[in-house]
Amino acid sequence: MDLNLKGKVAVITAASKGIGKSIAEGLLNEGVKVLISSSNRENLRQLDAEFSEKGFTGYSLEVCDLNLKSDIERLFAKAILEFDTVDILINNCGGPKAGAPSSMNDSDWQKGYEHTLLSAVLLTSLAVEEMKKNKWGRIINITSLSVKQPIDNLTLSNAFRSALTAYAKTLSLEVGQYNITVNNIMPGYTLTERLDHLAAIKADERGIDKAEILREMAENVPLKRLGKPEEIANITVFLCSDAAAYINGTSIPADGGLIKTI
């Protein structure tokens, strides 16, 4: 299937590692020009070395801490300066702090809000203006299966990703007339540093090995395995394409069947 994405311009956040990095790679494989950002300069440097080694061109890198509005504005300005426009926006973020509702203080809530919800809203508002001019756009938020089935102990993720999903739906009602689609992807257990970190927390709590926690997670998935970051990237790249032009205002799970809803 020709995805017809060659020459499009994408901006992706929190993409030096894990799911974001795989999505950047997937888009580059389709000939998309990608502005890749992350809060961590050293991680970006390592990514640059790896992508150069793989022979990728047509990408640019920018440090962007999603908790800083000034960084978000600078990221968008760089996209315009280097690539003239933005056709595709992938709102990814680092996972917000884990913990039970009773363990969260005001500052945790504020940081979680800025990182998980406000950053996506700010960047989306900037990108939409470009997409309207182009009469074409794709906005994709990487959320979580927690939107359909809240996960124990992930208070901030559960709360703010649901809010982001409601914002995305509302936005899709406004911008569909400009041929802009807005969708969310809900990863299930996907083997990245984030999942490893969450497994380590659970392992500590239960006094067992992290490998045992990861094995239990995999056992809960109908496909009996954890997801790979490239499996989230594949559906994301498809949603960016013209082949997915009539998919709008929805959330798509990529979870091996883990969510127990019909």
Give the Cα separation of 79 and 76 in Å (integer).
Answer: 5
By CB under 6 A, is residue 33 in contact with ligand NAD?
no
Structure tokens at 63: 């440090």
CB nearer to ligand NAD: pick between 137 and 187: 187
The binding track of 208-227 with respect to ligand NAD, each residue x by CB under 6 A or -, is --------------------
Q: For 78-124, give the DSSP string.
A: HHHHHHS--SEEEE--PPPPPB-GGG--HHHHHHHIIIIIIHHHHHH
Binding span for ligand NAD by CB under 6 A among 17-25, 75-83, 204-212, 238-246: 17-25
Q: Which of 33, 115, 138, 202 forms a contact with ligand NAD (CB under 6 A)?
A: 115
Sheet architecture: strand order including 33-38: 59-63, 33-38, 9-12, 88-91, 137-142, 180-187, 251-254
Give the Cα separation of 239 and 253 in Å (integer).
Answer: 12
Q: What residue is closest to ligand NAD based on CB?
A: 18
Q: Which of 3, 12, 16, 181 forms a contact with ligand NAD (CB under 6 A)?
A: 16
**Does an H or E element contain 252, and which?**
strand 251-254
* Residues in region 139-198 near ligand NAD by CB under 6 A: 142, 144, 157, 187, 189-190, 192-195
The binding track of 44-83 with respect to ligand NAD, each residue x by CB under 6 A or -, is --------------------xxxx----------------
Strands (E), 164-250: 180-187
Give the Cα separation of 155 and 28 in Å (integer).
Answer: 34
By CB under 6 A, is residue 17 in contact with ligand NAD?
yes
Q: Which residue ranges make up the site for ligand NAD (CB under 6 A)?
A: 14-20, 38-40, 43, 64-67, 92-95, 115, 142, 144, 157, 187, 189-190, 192-195
